[in-house]
Amino acid sequence: MDERWMIHTKKLDFDEFSKEFNISKPLARIIRNRGLTTKDEFKRYLSDDLSLLYDPFLLKDMDKAIDYIIKAMEEKKKIRVVGDYDVDGVCSGFILTNSLKKLGADVSFTVPDRIIDGYGINERIIDVAKEDGIELIITCDNGIAAKNQLDYALKLGIDIIVTDHHEVPFVMENDEKKYVIPNALAVVDHKRKDCNYPFKELCGAAIAFKVIIALCEKMDTDEKLKEEIFNLNLIFASIATIADIVPLKDENRIIVKNGLKRIKKSNNKGLDALIDIYNLREKDIGSYHIGFIIGPTINAAGRLKNAELAFELFSTDDYIKAKEIGMHLKTLNDERKEMTINGTYEGIIKADERIKSDDVLVVYLGDIHESVAGIVAGKLKEKYYRPVFVLTNTESFYKGSARSIEGFDIFEEMTKANSKYKEEKNEELIYKFGGHKMAAGLTIKKDKLDDFIKYMNLKSLDKDILIKNIWIDFKLPFEYISEDFINELKKIEPCGAENEKPQFAEVITHISSLKVFGENKNVISLKLKNESGYTMNATIFEKEEEFFDKIKKKYGDNVIDGMRSFMGEDINLKIIYYPEINEYNNKKYIKVVIKNYSW
């Protein structure tokens, strides 16, 4: 993978913004580096004020959706919420179902089976709903791309309300995009081109959260019940916002900040069980714990069993039952990790072959479980910095997931390839697909694999977008790091997509000592000196042999012995790092974590 290190040089009156918001000029610069330019944007970024959340009725069709839901409740109609099998689908489904139930609706929940159904609402789910006497289906985290399926439901006499956050499908006509909105009573999706909602990056659960806020407002709900519903939904919206990797900016930051504050006081037995299983009760739960511990555990249900298991976890009032389900999900997640390791190893072998001829890597891994295709695609994307499709084998189709890079809209490129193929061959290239710019899912017929590879690679990608830009906030010599500065960096949190943890650059001239720790020998502790002779403790999370091989290739075999013997070695090393405060034997000290390095 080729990299390009870039230092932000964005301009702003840092003195003025520093005084206005009572922050240091370096922090003002870091916030500016995240694309913010106005005082209103800075205010929203730094605030956790819930009054800054946008009015849900600004969402197109929200008023219609709420009126139909209230009418259905008044007429005692049976309602079914149809979610998706990932964290966002489960959380949005829980928000809608649990809240509607508390507000008096006759409501149930279902979710597609990843293996049997694939993504989104489908004919089987609709048939079951008809048999169960369902009169209104509300989708969440899906539905915008299900025009044919929704038409089928309408023919059966089932009303539909769509709540979704995915891109609106389009077809190319005369080189222009014609957007396709499905037939439904209401379609609430801020990605609609005719929707004037001021923020376009909510996840599905946040859209569901907005629906319930609007519903409580329109129903004039009792204040105590409204607050109870609001606080719990805020938690689940924050979990989904982090796990679905939507940008942690604007309204999403306010949702996540407030949700994380409440998570240990949720009184939800399922959340309590997960917190206890992973020993998080005494920790400040942040975006890391959601993104890498709780989120993957919720996801494991939909990957290897059925997502309704995760829904059941959050719906039960029995802590013992919740603990049993939580432990089962943890076991499934551990199994998923092992499958991911094996799938990634096989994927690297296949990708090494494809990268010789293709910019867009289509990797067929027939034997891996389709539930880990997206994770493997993400890991291959990081390794090769190419758009990656990972396809797996099912009885009738190849199914898979895609992950992309900046500058290559994977959803749009699939749409264009599909349109071109249909124009030339008079048939569909892709049987079914949907998603975002950076991630998508798809199903193709088995005889279309070679054509799919060909049409996704009809033109070579601009070589410039195949170079990964590593953005650095600014050069920060070690001697300027202080505890106060590190504590102030907490105002950047929660960190995640488009609000990455701050990164700083420094030049190293000497490594005084080196130690290797960890069961897998992948924690390397160093003592460094910079150009001015200032000493700093540092950690690199990298396998011992990989780090040593790079050093030896540049400086020879003996240099490692010098570092390990504490005699040290002069060395020219450029690093990207972030600082931390560590505590050992009741003493605090500053260290840096090295995220990247080069010569």
User: What's the CATH code of the domain at 518?
Assistant: 2.40.50.460
Q: What is the pLDDT of residues 171-190, one digit of tens each?
A: 888 888 899 999 999 999 99
pLDDT at 1 over 80: no
76 and 198 together in one domain: yes
Retrieve residue 150's tokens: 């929704």
Mean pLDDT value of segment 231-240: 98
Q: Residue range 9-28: average pLDDT?
A: 97
Q: Are residues 369 and 509 in the same domain?
A: no
Alpha-carbon separation of residue 363 from 368, 385, 450 (angstroms): 12, 14, 11
Same domain, residue pair 417 and 476: no
The pLDDT confidence band at residue 540, using thresholds 50, 70 and 90, is very high
Q: Which residues contact 176 (CB under 8 A, 6 or more apart)?
A: none
CATH, residue 452: 3.10.310.30
- Average the pLDDT over 160-168 and give the result: 96
Q: Please tell me what DSSP assigns to residue 427.
A: S
Tally of CA atoms within 13 A in the half-sphere of 562 that contains its CB = 14
* Same structural domain, 60 and 98: yes
DSSP secondary-structure letter at 410? H
User: pLDDT at residue 23 above 70?
Assistant: yes
> Sign (positive/negative) of CA torsion 55, 164, 244, 112?
positive
Q: How far is CA 111 from the centre of its chain?
A: 20
Whether 177 and 203 have beta carbons less than 8 Å apart is answered as no
The residue ranking higher by pLDDT, 119 or 128, is 128
Mean pLDDT confidence for 404-424: 94
pLDDT band at 286 (very low <50, low <70, confident <90, very high): very high
Length of the chain: 599
442 and 532 in one domain?
Answer: no
Query: What pLDDT was estimated at residue 176?
Result: 85
Q: Are residues 60 and 205 in the same domain?
A: yes
Cα separation, 579 vs 591, in Å, equals 6
Tens digits of residue pLDDT in 293-335:
999 999 998 877 888 999 999 999 999 999 999 999 999 999 9
pLDDT of residue 587: 86
Is the domain of 404 the same as that of 368?
yes
Q: How confident is the prediction for the chain on average, in pLDDT?
A: 94
| Contact in structure between 5 and 506 (CB atoms under 8 Å) | no
Residues 447 and 558 in one domain: no
pLDDT score for 565:
72
87 and 122 in a single domain? The answer is yes
Residue 258 maps to a domain: no
Backbone angles phi, psi at 385, to 5 degrees: 50, 60
Question: What is the rounded distance in angstroms from the CA atom of residue 410 to the CA atom of residue 450?
Answer: 18
Is 86 in the same domain as 172? yes
pLDDT at 448 over 70: yes
> DSSP per residue over 547-583, as a string?
HHHHHHHHH-THHHHHHHTTS-EEEEEEEEEEEEEEE
pLDDT for the residue 372 = 92
The domain total for the chain is 3
Look at residue 302 in the predicted model and tell me its pLDDT: 83
Sort 470 into a burial class: Cβ within 10 Å, 0-12 / 13-18 / 19+: middle
pLDDT number for residue 21: 97
- Look at residues 183, 200, 222 and tell me which one is the last residue of a structural domain: 222
In this structure, are 81 and 189 located in the same domain? Answer: yes
Average pLDDT over residues 266-280: 97
Sign of CA dihedral 591, 482, 285, 18: negative
* Whole-angstrom distance, CA of residue 94 vs CA of residue 81: 9
List pLDDT tens digits, range 338-382.
Answer: 999 999 999 999 999 999 999 999 999 988 888 899 999 999 999
Answer whether residue 261 is part of any domain. no
User: b/e map of 77-102 (b: 16 or more CB within 10 Å)?
Assistant: bebbbbbbbbbbbbbbbbbbbbbbeb
Which amino acid belongs to residue 241? Answer: T
Check residue 566 and give its pLDDT: 66
Assess if residue 511 is contained within a domain.
Answer: yes
Using pLDDT thresholds of 50, 70 and 90, give the confidence band for residue 541: very high
**pLDDT digit string (tens) for 566-597?**
667 788 899 999 999 998 788 889 999 999 99
Provide the percentage of residues in the chain whose pLDDT is more than 70: 100
Segment 459-483 shows an average pLDDT of 95
User: Is residue 249 situated within a structural domain?
Assistant: no
Q: Does the pLDDT value for residue 127 go beyond 90?
A: yes
For 259-314, the DSSP string reads HHHHGGG---HHHHHHHHHTT-TTS---HHHIIIIIHHHHHHHHHHS-THHHHHHH
Considering the domain boundaries, does residue 477 fall inside one?
A: yes
Which region among 169-178, 370-379, 439-448, 480-489 has the lowest average model confidence (pLDDT)? 169-178
Residue where a domain stops, chosen among 461, 483, 515: 461
CATH number at residue 69: 3.90.1640.30
Residue 96 lies in a domain: yes
Q: Is the dihedral of CA 498, 501, 505, 508 positive or negative?
A: negative
The helix or strand, by DSSP H or E, that contains position 206, with its residue range, turns out to be helix 204-219
Confidence class for position 509, pLDDT limits 50, 70, 90: very high
* Euclidean distance between CA atoms 87 and 309, whole angstroms: 12
User: Contact 465/405 with Cβ under 8 angstroms?
Assistant: yes
Burial class from Cβ neighbours inside 10 Å (0-12, 13-18, 19+) for residue 53 reads middle
Residue 423 included in any domain: yes
Per-residue DSSP letter, 499: B
DSSP letter string over 323-356?
HHHHHHHHHHHHHHHHHHHHHHHHHHHHHHHHTT
Q: Which domain holds residue 444?
A: 355-461
pLDDT of residue 567: 66
Are residues 60 and 208 located together in one domain of the fold?
Answer: yes
Contact 92, 127 (CB under 8 A): no
- Beta-carbon-side half-sphere exposure of residue 564 (alpha carbons within 13 Å): 12
Residue 342 Rama label (left phi>0; alpha psi -120 to 50; beta): alpha
Note the pLDDT of residue 551. Answer: 87
DSSP H or E stretch at residue 368 = none
- Assigned token pair, 4: 């390009």
pLDDT score, position 243: 95
* Sign of the dihedral defined by the CA atoms of residues 371, 441, 259, 217, in that order: negative
**173 vs 248, higher pLDDT:** 248
Q: Is residue 348 in a domain? A: no
pTM of the model: 0.90
- Tell which of 192, 222, 252 closes a domain: 222
